[in-house]
Amino acid sequence: MMENKNKITLVTGGSRGLGRDMALKLASKGIGVLLTYHSNSDEAQKVVTQISKAGGKAAALQLDAGNTKSFGSFFTQVRTVLKDTFNADRFDFLVNNGGVGIYAPVTETTEETFDQLMNVHFKGVYFLTQAALHLMNDGGGIVNISSGLARFSTPGYSAYASMKGGIEVFTRYLAKELGTRGIRANVVAPGAIATDFGGGHVRDNEQLNKMIAGVTALGRVGLPEDIGGVVAFLCTDDARWVNAQRIEVSGGQNL
């Protein structure tokens, strides 16, 4: 834990689901966590309290990950929180996790839906990362969250999965361009996970749940606790030579 003692990770969408587990797993490794939430400040504060009670350092800030115009003022707040909570000027790792799930066939996907997904899952990630780099220490890393859907195709996910495909290419470019700063960039691609994401249908639809379990080598649907530890690992020195990789964490889905 000592090696991670003064490291800090910014996790977007860290108040619930996968992001919450990422925040808790990072903190369990002694890493400071600055998490963002979109609208649920109470849930975000619960995560901060849980980390603090366990002896870790954490703080939460509101962020609309799809509104690039807000990023300037957001990072002004980040600077303040870094000083006040972590006694630091910069942070080490960025986890681009925040997202929304909207599903429709190609024939029914509206331009408005497409733009919303693009703003949150690709444009927002691109420019949030760009802005974050000014505050990141050399030798840190970026973890972008993709999806198994960028590898296999499931009807209804074309727009979302296409943005995730873009994220995977973007990650390789980050790794290439940031290598001189010793900053690594990797992708974690979860399979289907039982959370409230996208209305919670993987979690709540028994038929869908069974179908996914049936095409997964380990025979069940994923849980948030299956993902956070992999992200946390990538934010430690144990992963110092892992770069430009896509790590799918799906239990062997659709092999």
Annotated catalytic, 126?
no
* Confidence (pLDDT) at 95: 98
pLDDT tens string 145-195: 999 999 999 999 999 999 999 999 999 999 999 999 999 999 999 999 987
CA distances (Å), origin 222, targets 70, 84, 213, 216, 248? 33, 37, 9, 9, 12
Please tell me the total count of domains within the chain: 1
pLDDT at 50: 98
Alpha helices (H) along the chain: 17-28, 41-53, 71-86, 111-118, 124-132, 158-178, 201-204, 206-214, 228-234
In a domain, 202, yes or no: no
Domain presence at residue 210: no
Domain membership of residue 200 (yes or no) is no
**Summary mean pLDDT of the chain:** 95
pLDDT at residue 195, as a whole number:
72
pLDDT band at 204 (very low <50, low <70, confident <90, very high): confident
pLDDT at 196 over 90: no
Side-chain-side CA neighbours of residue 131 (13 Å) = 22
Considering the chain, what percentage of its residues have pLDDT values greater than 70? 96
What are the helix and strand counts (H, E) for the chain?
Answer: 9, 7
pLDDT at 1 over 60: no
Q: Are 11 and 33 in contact (CB under 8 A)?
A: yes
In a domain, 208, yes or no: no
Within 8 A by CB and 6+ apart from 162, the residues are: none
DSSP state of 193: B
Query: Which of 84, 32, 36, 74 shows the shortest CA–CA distance to 55?
Result: 32
From the list 37, 126, 157, 160, the catalytic residue is 160
Assess if residue 232 is contained within a domain: yes
pLDDT band at 230 (very low <50, low <70, confident <90, very high): very high
Predicted local distance difference test score (pLDDT) of residue 141: 98
Domain that holds residue 139: 2-190+227-247
Alpha-carbon gap, residue 65 to 119, rounded angstroms: 8
User: Is the pTM value of this prediction over 0.85?
Assistant: yes
Whether residue 217 has pLDDT greater than 80? yes
Q: Is residue 252 part of a domain?
A: no
How far is residue 139's CA from residue 147's CA, in Å, rounded to a whole number? 26
pLDDT of 202 higher than 80: no
pLDDT > 60? residue 38: yes
The set of residues, in sequence order, having a beta carbon less than 8 Å from that of 106 and lying 6+ positions away, is 158
Does residue 187 contact residue 179 with C-beta atoms inside 8 Å? no
pLDDT digit string, tens, across residues 48-82 = 999 999 999 999 999 999 999 999 999 999 999 99
**Predicted pLDDT of residue 197:** 67
Do residues 232 and 27 lie in contact, with contact meaning Cβ atoms separated by under 8 Å? no
CATH classification at residue 22? 3.40.50.720
Q: Is residue 222 part of a domain?
A: no
Q: Please name the amino acid found at residue 77.
A: Q
Q: Is residue 211 part of a domain?
A: no
- In angstroms, the CA 244 to CA 248 distance is 13
State which amino acid sits at residue 224.
P
